[in-house]
C-alpha cells in the first residue's frame, strides 16, 4: 500500500478548482506515477457558492484557513489565493508547522521571496513554485535541475499571457487595445487586477523569479525597469509589421560584460526571431546557456488547467520527497553567477530603436529631427514617411542603430518640444539574437 500524503488547499478560485479536480479525478493515475497517494483533505475559501464546475464534498470545505494550517495530518499546503497578504502569513505559518508549501504566487515571491525561502530553509521544508512562471511550462524545474551545469547569458521571456494575447488580437483582428483587453478578461486570462498584466508588473514579478534561478541574483522590483503594453497603438503594430517586425511583451535578463540587464517592455522582434510566432495566450522562454546553447520552452502561460498542471507537478515532487524520506532535495541556488558584478542601469542599456514621430508635413522637418538625433550620438538606420494625404500630420518612422537609452531619452525630450512635432514620440526597443 502506497503512503498517503494529505494535501490542504487554500484558495478555491480558477486554479484551485483545477488542482482539486486533477487530484480528485486523476487520483489513481497520479498514485501510480508518483508512488504515493495524494489525498485532498481540506479546501479553504471564503465563498464556495461561486460555480466552479466542481462540487466538493462538504466535509472537505472550510472557510477557516487555520483548519488547514493547524491540521497535523496535512503535510502539503497549497497556497492559491495570490497577493501579498494574507498569503505570506499563511505560508510562513505552514512552514513554521513543518509543512511543505506549494504556491503559484509570483507577486509574493518577487516581493518577499528572500524571507520565504529563508523560512523554508529553517523549517527544512520545500517551498515549490512551478506555476508562478509560464503557467504549464516546467521552466522552474528546467532552470533548477535540468540546466544546473550551465552559465546562462540570456533569458528572454514572453511570460504574460494576457499582454501577448492582447497584442496578438490587436494585430490579427485589428482590435483596439481596450477591445482586446475585454476579450482577455472574458476568457479568464487576466489577473483580478488587470493593470498587473498590462503595465508589466506581472511579467516583472516573473522575471525576478527567473533571474534568481537563472543567475542566482535576487532582484528587487524597483530595480527592474518595467513598461506595459497599454501605450502600444494599432499604428505601431502595422508599421512594425511592414518593416518585418512584430511587437512582443518581453521580459529580459541578460549579461552584458560584468553587468546584468533586467527589464520588461514591449519589444520589436524580427519576424524570424524564435519568439516572434509565440502568439495568443501562449508563453515562451528562450534561454541561452554556455553548455546547452539556445533552448526554447513554449506552452500555455495562463488559464486553469495549465497552471493546475504545474501545481500538481510540484505536489507530486514534494510527495515523492516525503515518501522517499528526503526533504529539500533541490535547494534554492543562492550563488550569484560568476562574473556579474552589478545590475545595469536602464540609462546604460543599448538597443536599436523603432521611433514614430507625428509631425507636420513640411520641408526641413526630417533634417531637424536627424540633427537632434545625431547630436545625441544616435545613428539612423532607415527612415519611412507614411503618406497620409487627408491629414496634415504625418507619421515618420525611423529605425536606429544601437543607441544608449539615456541618449534616446534626452534626444526625444528635445524633439518633442519642437513646434512641428504634434504628438509625443513613440520609441520602442528592439531585441536581436546575439551574434554568435
Active-site annotation, residues: 206
∠ CA 60-64-66, nearest 5°, is: 100
Cell reading at 365: 522637418
Q: Binding to ligand HSE by residue 162, rule CB under 6 A?
A: yes
Q: Binding to ligand HSE by residue 200, rule CB under 6 A?
A: no
Q: Binding to ligand HSE by residue 62, rule CB under 6 A?
A: no
Shortest reach from residue 285's CB to ligand HSE, in Å: 12
Q: Which of 190, 198, 253, 394 binds ligand HSE (CB under 6 A)?
A: 190
- Closest CB to ligand HSE among 253 and 396? 253
Q: How many residues does the chain have?
A: 436
- Closest CB to ligand HSE among 206 and 356? 206
Considering only the stretches 21-29, 86-94, 154-162, 394-402, report the one whose residues sit in contact with ligand HSE under the rule CB under 6 A.
154-162
Contact (CB, 8 A) for 156 and 252 = yes
- Closest CB to ligand HSE among 135 and 228? 135
For the chain, helix, strand, coil in percent to 5 are: 40, 25, 35
Contact (CB, 8 A) for 283 and 298 = yes
The 205-234 contact track toward ligand HSE, x by CB under 6 A, reads ------------------------------
- Contacts of residue 165, defined as CB under 8 A and 6 or more positions apart, other chains included, come to 180, 183, 184, 187, 189, 280, 281, 302
Considering only the stretches 138-146, 158-166, 213-221, 396-404, report the one whose residues sit in contact with ligand HSE under the rule CB under 6 A.
158-166
Shortest reach from residue 34's CB to ligand HSE, in Å: 25
Return the HEC string of 19-30.
HHHHHHHCHHHH
Q: Binding to ligand HSE by residue 130, rule CB under 6 A?
A: no
Q: Which of 161, 266, 299, 395 binds ligand HSE (CB under 6 A)?
A: 161
Q: Binding to ligand HSE by residue 301, rule CB under 6 A?
A: yes
- Closest CB to ligand HSE among 181 and 253? 181
Shortest reach from residue 190's CB to ligand HSE, in Å: 6
Q: Binding to ligand HSE by residue 157, rule CB under 6 A?
A: no
Q: Binding to ligand HSE by residue 202, rule CB under 6 A?
A: yes
Contact (CB, 8 A) for 403 and 353 = yes
Q: Which of 79, 130, 197, 236 binds ligand HSE (CB under 6 A)?
A: 197
Cell 512562471, residue located: 133
Contact (CB, 8 A) for 103 and 87 = yes
Considering only the stretches 108-116, 117-125, 156-164, 322-330, report the one whose residues sit in contact with ligand HSE under the rule CB under 6 A.
156-164
- Closest CB to ligand HSE among 214 and 301? 301
Q: Which residues sit opposite 62 in a β-bridge? A: 44
Q: Which of 117, 177, 189, 354 binds ligand HSE (CB under 6 A)?
A: 189
- Closest CB to ligand HSE among 7 and 229? 229
Return the HEC string of 348-399.
HCEECEEEEEEEECCCCHHHHHHHHHHHCCCCEEEEEECCCCCCCEEEEEEE
Q: Binding to ligand HSE by residue 160, rule CB under 6 A?
A: yes
The 241-280 contact track toward ligand HSE, x by CB under 6 A, reads ----------------------------------------
- Closest CB to ligand HSE among 14 and 400? 14
- Closest CB to ligand HSE among 79 and 197? 197
Shortest reach from residue 178's CB to ligand HSE, in Å: 17
Other C-beta atoms lying within 10 Å of the C-beta of residue 363? 6
Q: Is 5 helix (H, G, I), strand (E, B) or coil?
A: strand
Residue 275's region, left for phi above 0, alpha for psi from -120 to 50, else beta, is: alpha
Considering only the stretches 145-153, 188-196, 313-321, 358-366, report the one whose residues sit in contact with ligand HSE under the rule CB under 6 A.
188-196
Cell reading at 318: 514534494
Shortest reach from residue 281's CB to ligand HSE, in Å: 7
Phi, psi of 110 (to 5 degrees): -70, -40
Shortest reach from residue 309's CB to ligand HSE, in Å: 13
| 282-289 and 293-300 strand pairing | antiparallel
Cell reading at 161: 499571457
Q: Binding to ligand HSE by residue 112, rule CB under 6 A?
A: no
Return the HEC string of 136-184.
CCCHHHHHHHHCCCCCEEEEEEECCHHHHHHHHHHHHHCCCHHHHHHHH
- Closest CB to ligand HSE among 163 and 351? 163
Binding residues for ligand HSE (CB under 6 A): 135, 160-162, 189-191, 197, 202, 301-302
Amino acid at each position: 500500500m502506497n503512503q498517503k500524503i494529505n494535501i490542504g488547499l487554500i484558495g478555491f478560485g480558477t486554479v484551485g478548482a483545477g488542482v482539486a479536480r486533477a487530484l480528485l479525478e486523476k487520483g489513481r493515475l497520479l498514485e501510480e506515477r508518483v508512488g504515493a497517494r495524494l489525498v485532498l483533505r481540506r479546501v479553504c475559501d471564503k465563498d464556495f457558492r461561486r460555480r466552479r464546475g466542481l462540487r466538493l464534498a462538504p466535509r472537505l470545505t472550510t472557510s477557516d484557513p487555520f483548519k488547514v494550517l493547524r491540521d497535523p495530518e496535512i503535510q502539503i499546503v497549497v497556497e492559491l489565493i495570490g497577493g501579498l497578504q494574507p498569503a505570506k502569513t499563511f505560508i510562513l505559518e505552514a512552514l513554521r508547522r513543518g509543512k511543505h508549501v506549494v504556491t503559484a504566487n509570483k507577486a509574493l515571491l518577487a516581493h518577499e521571496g528572500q524571507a520565504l525561502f529563508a523560512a523554508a530553509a529553517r523549517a527544512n521544508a520545500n517551498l515549490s513554485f512551478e506555476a508562478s512562471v509560464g503557467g504549464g511550462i516546467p521552466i522552474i524545474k528546467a532552470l533548477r535541475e535540468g540546466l544546473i551545469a550551465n552559465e546562462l547569458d540570456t533569458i528572454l521571456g514572453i511570460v504574460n499571457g494576457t499582454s501577448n494575447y492582447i497584442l496578438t488580437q490587436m494585430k490579427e483582428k485589428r482590435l483596439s487595445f481596450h477591445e482586446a483587453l475585454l476579450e482577455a478578461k472574458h476568457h479568464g486570462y487576466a489577473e483580478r487586477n488587470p493593470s498587473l498584466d498590462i503595465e508589466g508588473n506581472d511579467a516583472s514579478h516573473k522575471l525576478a523569479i527567473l533571474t534568481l534561478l537563472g543567475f542566482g541574483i535576487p532582484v528587487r522590483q524597483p530595480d527592474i525597469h518595467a513598461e506595459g503594453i497599454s501605450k502600444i497603438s494599432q499604428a505601431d503594430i502595422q508599421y512594425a509589421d511592414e518593416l518585418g517586425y512584430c511587437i512582443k511583451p518581453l521580459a529580459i535578463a541578460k549579461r552584458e560584460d560584468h553587468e546584468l540587464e533586467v527589464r520588461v517592455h514591449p519589444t520589436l522582434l524580427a519576424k524570424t526571431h524564435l519568439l516572434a510566432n509565440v502568439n495568443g495566450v501562449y508563453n515562451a522562454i528562450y534561454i541561452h546557456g554556455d553548455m546547452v546553447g539556445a533552448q526554447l520552452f513554449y506552452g500555455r502561460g495562463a488559464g486553469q488547467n495549465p497552471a493546475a498542471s504545474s501545481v500538481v507537478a510540484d505536489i507530486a515532487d514534494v510527495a515523492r520527497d516525503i515518501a522517499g524520506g528526503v526533504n529539500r532535495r533541490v535547494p534554492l541556488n543562492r550563488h550569484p553567477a560568476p562574473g556579474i558584478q552589478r545590475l545595469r542601469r536602464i540609462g546604460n542599456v543599448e538597443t536599436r530603436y523603432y521611433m514614430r514621430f507625428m509631425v507636420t508635413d513640411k520641408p526641413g522637418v526630417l533634417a531637424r529631427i536627424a540633427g537632434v538625433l545625431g547630436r545625441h550620438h544616435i545613428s539612423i538606420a532607415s527612415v519611412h514617411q507614411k503618406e497620409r494625404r487627408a491629414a496634415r500630420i504625418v507619421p515618420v518612422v525611423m529605425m536606429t542603430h544601437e543607441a544608449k537609452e539615456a541618449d534616446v531619452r534626452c534626444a526625444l525630450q528635445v524633439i518633442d518640444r519642437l513646434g512641428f512635432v504634434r504628438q509625443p514620440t513613440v520609441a520602442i526597443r528592439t531585441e536581436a539574437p546575439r551574434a554568435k
